[in-house]
Amino acid sequence: RKEVEQDPGPFNVPEGATVAFNCTYSNSASQSFFWYRQDCRKEPKLLMSVYSSGNEDGRFTAQLNRASQYISLLIRDSKLSDSATYLCAVTRGSTLGRLYFGRGTQLTVWP
Amino acid sequence: DGGITQSPKYLFRKEGQNVTLSCEQNLNHDAMYWYRQDPGQGLRLIYYSQIVNDFQKGDIAEGYSVSREKKESFPLTVTSAQKNPTAFYLCASNGKSSYNSPLHFGNGTRLTVT
C-alpha cells in the first residue's frame, strides 16, 4: 500500500464553487501533515500545514482525521487562480523531516 | 532574500554521460533533499542529508550519487547507470529536523537525456 494516496482527479469546477480533496495515509505514526500547491511545470509551494484541531486560511480549510488516517482540503469560492495541482504530504515519526507525497490532485476552475 | 537555487533550469545530455545538478540554499537549513517528479507519479525521494558529511538513500537512489561537503550545498549526480534519467528534479530543504518543518523547494531542473 502506498504511503500517501490521493484521488488524481481532474476536478473541473466553476468559479465560486466549493471543492474538497481528501488524502489518505497508511502509517499511523505519521506526525506532520501539509498541503502543497504546484502550478504547471513549477516547483511545489507550501499552501498550509494541517493541525490536529483543523485550521483555516482565508478560503482554504484543512482538516486531519487521525482515526481514519486522512487529511482534507476544502476550497470555498473557487477562483480561476486556484487552478493547480494540490499535493498532500506527511511525515513519519521514524525519519524526522522527510516528507512523503501523494501524486497530487489536479484542479481546474473555469469561468 | 533567502531561498534555494537550482541550476541549470534546463539540461540536455546524451545517454551515457554523467551530469551534476546544483542545489544551493542560504536558509541555514540543516536538512536537504532531492526528489524526482515524473508525470502522474508524484514526488519520489532520491537522497537526503540531515547534516553535513552525511546522507541517506531515499526510495530510488540507484543510478544517483550525492555529496554534502557544505551545509549550503547538496549536488546530485545522475550517472549513466540511471536507466530513465529524463525527469524534473527538485531540491528541497528544511530546518533542524523536527516534526513540523515543511519543505522549501528550489525551482527545479528539467533534465532531458537522449
pLDDT, tens only, A65-110: 999 999 999 999 999 999 999 999 998 765 656 889 999 999 999 9
A 10 A CB-CB count for A101 gives 25
Which chain A residues are Cβ-neighbours of B35 within 8 angstroms?
A: 101
| pLDDT bucket at A8, cuts 50 / 70 / 90 | confident
Q: What chain A residue is nearest to B6 in terms of C-alpha separation?
A: A43
A 10 A CB-CB count for A76 gives 14
User: Over the stretch B24-40, which tens digit does the pLDDT of each residue have?
Assistant: 999 999 899 999 999 87
The string over B64-102, giving b where at least 16 C-beta atoms fall within 10 Å of a residue's C-beta and e elsewhere, is: bbbebeebbebbbebeeebeebebbbbbbbbeebeeebb
Cβ contact, residue pair A87, B105, below 8 Å: no
The answer for residues whose C-beta is within 8 angstroms of residue A4's C-beta and 6 or more apart is A23, A24, A25, A26, A88, A89, A90, A100, A101, A102
pLDDT at B97 > cutoff 60 = no
Q: What chain A residue is nearest to B31 in terms of C-alpha separation?
A: A97
Cβ contact, residue pair A44, B101, below 8 Å: no
